[in-house]
Amino acid sequence: MADNYTLITKGFHLLTEILAPYVAQQLRAFFGNNWWQDGVLAVLYDEQKRDLPDDGDWGMLVDSLDAARCLVLIDIHWNQIFKLKLSKEHRHWVKELITTRNKWAHKGSGDFSADDAWRALDTMARLTEQLDAETTEALRALVRQVRYGTTGASTAAAGLASPPAASRHSLEVLRTVPRGGLKPWRNVIRPHPDVAEGRYRQAEFAADLSQVVRGTAQIEYQDPVEFFARTYITEGMKDLLVQAIRRTGGAGGEPVIQLKTAFGGGKTHSMLALYHLLRSATTVARLPNLQPVLAAAGAAEVPRARIAVLVGTALNPSKARRPANLPGITINTLWGEMAAQLAEQVAEGDAATANKIYDIVRDADKKAVPPGSAALVELLDTCGPCLILIDELVAYARKIYKVDGLPAGSFEAVLTFVQELTEAARASQNSLVVASIPESEIEIGGEAGKITQEQIEHTFGRMEYIWKPVGADEGFEIVRRRLFLDVEDEVARDEVCRAFSEMYSGGGRDFPLETKELAYLARLKACYPIHPEVFDRLYNDWAALDRFQRTRGVLRLMAAVIHELWLNQDAGLMIMPGSIPLNSAIVREELTRYLDNGWNNVVETDVDGPRSLPQKLEKENPRFGQCMAARRVARSIFLGSAPSVREQRNRGIEDVRVRLGVVQPGEAVAVFNDAAGHLLSRSTHLYVSGQRFWYDLPPNLRRTVEDRAQQYKSDDVELELEKRLKAMRDRGEFAGVHVCPASSADVPDEQAVRLVVLSPQQHHRLGSADSPALAAAGDILASRGAGPRLYRNMLAFVAPDRELIASLDMEVRRYLAWQSVLDEAEALNLDAHQRREAAESKKRADETVDIRLKEAYSWLLTPYQEGAGPVMWETVRIGGSADSPVVKASQQMRTSEYLITRWSPALLFMELERWLWRDQEYIQIKKVWEYLASYCYLPRLKDVNVLIHAIAEGLRSDEYFGYAAAVTEAGRFLGLSLGPQGSAGFPEISGFLVKPAAAKRQFAQDEAEASRMAPPVDYPPQQDGAAGTAGVRDGRDVPPVTPPPSPAKKVRRFFATVDLDTARIGRDAGKIAEEVIQHLALLNGARVRVSLDIQADFSEGVPDNVVRTVTENCRTLRFKHHEFEE
């Protein structure tokens, strides 16, 4: 691409081609045949006329004039010659270009900056606009080359550099794409350069006809190519342009058109479209977006028309105007101004011709009386085809309302002129009058403006064609075309839009019903990269405000938003209500300027600011901070509710639309719902009614609630929590639950498992060996009151988490505060809405406390011992469900076998062998139960019935133990039974367990004694004398003996592998231990080893906090090996 110096060089060459003959012609017209000697050589310095010929023919002399000499000659002869031909702005541009030319001639080794090059070329184009249209367009092409990198419109720009790295003072935006595989909007479509670089504020999207006519407007309005490139041709605008082409081309069309829209609705922009269309017909006729207009008009080309522009705000009715380029003409009135502009274009510098045309209205202008429709018809047809554009007519008429003696005439004269002009346009051959009529009170401007507007509208309304500029569904395309270049990656855009559509379709009731339709997918694509919800809120809610300029206001706001997001490299998939950075002063001002005083404070404290509540919530809760959930929800509520007023029946924005404005594919809806709940509980200006949220200026009751919450004491909080804990009725598998005992004396010392729920102050944290919870649990475990505790293995404890209980404390205070506000509703003089708010807020606070209470009590503490060693503590988290802490503790203890509700006789036998009857042959069941209840190295049974049932089941076999009802002093077992042939019945706790060997020995003794005491038995002789192994012993026949079979080979090893259900590991492992392992472990000489092999794969990776937690727990549980791999 050419450097800026080269582009400026081309510009000066183009400037010379048009200025040299123009300057020569004007000098010859003034000086005659001596124009070269008297007009050039006589006035230039020696250095300036170096190398100039002393004389020559016309062509040679014109060719010897370069741009520098032409500019100097215009400046020197300004008062005598060029003042009559050009405007004051032209002289300023001439002087500026003289300076620029000197810099260009002595530039050195450096290049011109882009800004300097743009300014130089733009000034050249403005200077030549009145002289030659083709040269002007060539210069504007160079302007676009500098500014956009292309000689075509900015929408054809090759692209922009990536946004600069965010500074340390930059705004916080999404840094990570919400879902992998999808591109953020900034990688799919790029903003216009002026938007990306923040230059848009110079123009502020406010089109000004008078500036364009003077040649002083911004390039996007001054340059017809750039103007149409950024203008979306709506159906209304297309119809307007078609009517203009037909009318000025003599093919029908409406002669009078009235433009009537709301403030900022596009009236002036539509007039600019007409101005550029008919004034730069050759230039714009080839533009692609105007081809459908020509086709609809049935025209092969755009007719060239003379244009008069009357802008009421730019005209001074108290002062006559003497145009320097129209000598002999003094303009006083609107009709004089119109005639002068038309005459100037027809005459093309010929003062005599201009004066002749102006003579049609000269007397009427001088006397400030309307010229009559016949004179106006003559004027229009003489200069035709003509386009008369009247903007801000009400503003002009308002200036002369009830004011006499003005050069411009009276108010009634202006109304008469308007009537005559509409009649003349209708009677003319091919002229068109277009006038804008304001609709909003802001533009009408008070009582005088209303009277003026009504009378002008009545005058115009008799024969005008009323035009509708922008359809309801066309605003987004206007904004997109004005603010963005063309989409660079349509495939990526479609993937993003489909992902949104799929999320809405599968979102159940989380999103509005219309988002599930295919039509909404089409809207997503059409509005991209701006989410349709942004446009819906702006056009449906904000446009209802009188001061909000419908199209212009949206453009201003979104330009500021896009600039900030682009500059800070936002990674969002689309620009959503939750993306709008209200912590940017520029963006915030674009919204709060339309609201009442005080909204800035609301935004800074409750919505988006460095010390705002959402920022605090995100710092407190990493879940919110990772995706800016709190701020995005607050922004969405603000955008959808700030324009609403107290008088509205359904105020605010629905929760489904709040979610629609924030959730992107790959994000969890629950996080944003949770953030909304936190905002609602702590915001000062956020209100809710049913499912609708809104912000308002008056503080809600939360300020009162917050003040009251701070006044509650810790004892009040503990009392409320204790009340809630005691209200939890489900006891799980525990014989008793003791909530917040004041001392160890409050916990019974009994032979049944009990759960102690520690007080909120007795909290625990991960990895702590001396937490308040462990200290309190140790005290209760060691003693009951002043005496020692006997049955220590009958206790387990639940404690709150230190961090979670701290946040719960504030939630309880808020609940108590809401309760007090509701109780004192009469004294506080609450209205119906405030009472409803208090009731709903108390209900939400109540629910929040219940949820947080269950979350906070998340530590299960169970004592255990390794043999006769000291008591140690097993600490296990029991979070993750909505059950009460008691139920969760019960479930966890059963799953982990810290609490046994059904016991295997084999496991009982193992404990007997290991600890209880080592050197004894029997033990009383009551004693066994006392041991189990007392010593923490033994299993913890729910109650004695678990032991009795285990014994009853074990008595079915002779492998474990026998049962005796009693034992004599001599050590003989009474009521002894062993194995299934026994007749012990159901065991009693007063009975005894007997080692199988001891029971068999007593049985053998009893059998021997019975044999000794029994009389001899006579056996009859064998009758057949059969041979065999039978014989005779002690004179008696001996039964035959069968030899034993040869012994079979025995297996000596066992292997097994089984997959466990990760959700029921404890249950499955216990069943395997009971049904398999215990049978193996009881065998003599058995050595059983059980290992647990864990393998886990994660398609989306493992978060750092999970890695840390699992690694620390593995170390605590003494894993031999554990490792995470990439």
Helix or strand (DSSP H, E) at 826: helix 825-828
pLDDT at 463 over 60: no
Q: What is the pLDDT of residue 902?
A: 93
Helix or strand (DSSP H, E) at 39: none
Please work out, in degrees rounded to the nearest 5, the angle formed at the alpha carbon of residue 238 by the alpha carbons of 236 and 242.
120
**Cα→Cα distances 113→120, 125, 1005, Å:** 11, 18, 119
Q: What is the mean pLDDT of residues 1000-1006?
A: 89
End-to-end CA gap in the chain: 47
What sign does the CA torsion over 408, 410, 416, 419 have?
Answer: positive
Q: Comparing C-alpha atoms, which of 906, 938, 1003 is closest to residue 964? A: 1003
| CB-count exposure of residue 112 (10 Å: 0-12, 13-18, 19+) | buried
Q: What is the pLDDT of residue 128?
A: 86
Evaluate whether 183 touches 488 at the Cβ level (below 8 Å).
no
Q: What is the mean pLDDT of residues 321-335?
A: 85
pLDDT at 1044 over 70: no
> 1032 falls in which pLDDT band (50, 70, 90)?
very low
Q: Which residue has the tokens 């000489």?
A: 1085
Higher pLDDT, 1039 or 450: 450
Q: Which residue has the tokens 């010897």?
A: 64
Q: What is the pLDDT of residue 647?
A: 54
Q: Give the separation between CA 227 and CA 605, rounded to whole angstroms.
A: 41
Maximum Cα–Cα distance for the chain, whole Å? Answer: 178
Q: What is the mean pLDDT of residues 474-481?
A: 80
C-alpha dihedral (701, 702, 706, 712), degrees to nearest 10: 60
Higher pLDDT, 168 or 653: 653
Q: Give the separation between CA 782 and CA 800, rounded to whole angstroms.
A: 21
Higher pLDDT, 96 or 111: 96
Q: What is the 3-state secondary structure (H, E, C) of 1001-1054?
A: HHHHHHHHHHHHHCCCCCCCCCCCCCCCCCEEECCEEECCCCCCCCCCCCCCCC
Average model confidence (pLDDT) across the chain: 85
Q: Give the separation between CA 1109 and CA 1099, rounded to whole angstroms.
A: 19
> 1050 falls in which pLDDT band (50, 70, 90)?
low
pLDDT at 359 over 90: yes
Q: Residue 310's beta-bridge partner residues?
A: 390
Q: Residue 861's beta-bridge partner residues?
A: 797, 875
Q: What percent of the chain has pLDDT over 90?
A: 39
pLDDT at 593 over 80: yes
**Cα→Cα distances 894→97, 270, 862, Å:** 91, 78, 12
Q: Give the separation between CA 795 and CA 604, rounded to whole angstroms.
A: 52
Evaluate whether 379 touches 425 at the Cβ level (below 8 Å).
no
Global confidence as pTM: 0.57
> 169 falls in which pLDDT band (50, 70, 90)?
very low
Domains of the chain: 4-151 (no CATH), 233-467 (3.40.50), 475-700 (no CATH), 708-895 (no CATH), 905-1010 (no CATH), 1052-1126 (no CATH)
Q: What is the mean pLDDT of residues 1021-1047?
A: 49
- Helix-, strand-, coil-residue percentages of the chain, each rounded to 5: 50, 10, 40
Q: What percent of the chain has pLDDT over 70?
A: 88
> Are β-strands 922-924 and 872-877 bridged in parallel, bridged antiparallel, or unpaired?
unpaired
What sign does the CA torsion over 193, 640, 444, 421 have?
Answer: positive
Q: Select, from the ranges 473-477, 825-829, 1066-1070, the one with the highest average predicted confidence (pLDDT).
A: 825-829
List, as own/partner pairs, every contact residues 593-601 make where C-beta atoms lie below 8 angstroms and the sequence separation is at least 24, other chains included: 593/547, 594/542, 594/545, 594/547, 594/548, 594/553, 594/643, 595/545, 595/642, 595/643, 596/697, 598/697, 599/642, 599/697
My answer on whether omega of the bond before 772 falls inside 30° of 0, hence cis, is no
My answer on whether omega of the bond before 385 falls inside 30° of 0, hence cis, is yes
Complete DSSP assignment for 554-598: HHHHHHHHHHHHHHTT---SSB-GGG--TTSHHHHHHHHTTS-TT
Q: Residue 535's beta-bridge partner residues?
A: none
Q: What is residue 632's DSSP assignment?
A: H
Q: Comparing C-alpha atoms, which of 237, 144, 243 is closest to residue 194? A: 144
Helix or strand (DSSP H, E) at 276: helix 267-279
Cβ within 8 Å of residue 624, ≥6 positions away: 617, 618, 630, 671, 674, 675, 678
Q: What is the pLDDT of residue 1025?
A: 47
Which residue type sits at 335? W
C-alpha dihedral (600, 602, 604, 605), degrees to nearest 10: 160
The per-residue pLDDT for range 649-664, each reduced to its tens digit, is: 678 899 999 999 999 9
Q: Give the separation between CA 301 and CA 288, rounded to whole angstroms.
A: 13
Q: What is the mean pLDDT of residues 218-222?
A: 80
Q: Give the separation between CA 1068 and CA 1066, rounded to whole angstroms.
A: 6
Question: Rg of the chain over CA atoms, in angstroms?
Answer: 48
Q: Residue 387's beta-bridge partner residues?
A: 307, 432
The per-residue pLDDT for range 688-704, each reduced to its tens digit, is: 888 899 998 888 887 78
Q: Which residue has the tokens 């050589």?
A: 41
**Neighbour order of strands in the sheet with 795-799:** 736-739, 754-757, 795-799, 859-864, 872-877
Q: What is the pLDDT of residue 447?
A: 63
Q: Give the separation between CA 978 and CA 962, rounded to whole angstroms.
A: 4
Higher pLDDT, 522 or 1111: 522
The per-residue pLDDT for range 192-207, each reduced to its tens digit, is: 888 888 776 544 566 6
pLDDT at 471 over 80: no
Q: What is the mean pLDDT of residues 986-1003?
A: 90
Question: Chain centroid to CA 357: how far?
Answer: 63
Q: What is the pLDDT of residue 1033?
A: 44
Cβ within 8 Å of residue 375, ≥6 positions away: 360, 361, 364
Q: How many residues does the chain have?
A: 1126
For the ranges 446-450, 599-603, 909-913, the lowest mean pLDDT is seen at 446-450
Higher pLDDT, 873 or 1061: 873
Q: What is the pLDDT of residue 1030?
A: 46
> 448 falls in which pLDDT band (50, 70, 90)?
low
The SS3 call for residue 123 is helix
> 889 falls in which pLDDT band (50, 70, 90)?
very high
The per-residue pLDDT for range 108-134, each reduced to its tens digit, is: 777 888 888 888 998 998 888 877 778
Higher pLDDT, 397 or 995: 995
The SS3 call for residue 923 is strand
> 1028 falls in which pLDDT band (50, 70, 90)?
very low
Complete DSSP assignment for 641-657: HTT--TT-SS-SEEHHH
> 166 falls in which pLDDT band (50, 70, 90)?
very low
